[in-house]
């Protein structure tokens, strides 16, 4: 099974500054078709998870361009630019290449300083 490892697990951020979350997979998520099967989800307090980024770097519908996904192979990053109070949430990465099982990272809790 592919193991997903996120860091940090907790990330205090000052509003207006940037935040960066790392996600590493135990095996490459790069398919022969050139796509990385790595998705990012956000779960705001009291809500269901929502898709944020798919295929490593494509924003889901309605996601502000402050959110950017990057990386390839085994190393991925979610960057949140100009953090706002509404970005307080837990962010998860998930791999969808070698399935089953689908595996999530532990989650990174972003909070405002």
Partner 1 sequence: QVQLVESGGGVVQPGTSLRLSCVASGFSFSSYGMHWVRQAPGRGLEWVAFMKYDGSDKFFADSVKGRFTISRDISKNTLFLQMNSLRVEDTAVYYCARVRDNHSPLRFWGQGTLVSVSS
Interface positions with partner 1 (CB under 8 A) = 31, 37, 39, 41, 43, 48-51, 54-55, 60, 90, 92, 94, 96-97, 99-107
What are the residues facing 12 on neighbouring strands? 111
CB of 67 to partner 1, least distance (A): 14
Nearest C-alpha neighbor of 110 from the set 94, 93, 86: 86
CB of 15 to partner 1, least distance (A): 26
**Residue 64: CB minimum distance to partner 1, A:** 17
What order of strands is seen across the sheet that includes strand 19-25? Answer: 4-7, 19-25, 75-80, 67-72
């Amino acid at each position: 099974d592919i193991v997903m490892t996120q860091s940090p697990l907790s990330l205090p951020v000052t509003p207006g500054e940037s935040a960066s979350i790392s996600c590493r997979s135990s095996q490459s998520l790069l398919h022969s078709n050139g796509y990385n099967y790595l998705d990012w989800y956000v779960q705001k307090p009291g809500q269901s998870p929502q898709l944020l980024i798919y295929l490593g770097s494509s924003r889901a519908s309605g996601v502000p361009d402050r959110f950017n996904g990057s990386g390839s192979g085994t190393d991925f990053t979610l960057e949140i630019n100009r953090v706002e109070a509404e970005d307080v949430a837990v962010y998860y990465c998930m791999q969808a290449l070698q399935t089953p099982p689908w595996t999530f990272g532990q989650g990174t809790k972003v909070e405002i300083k």
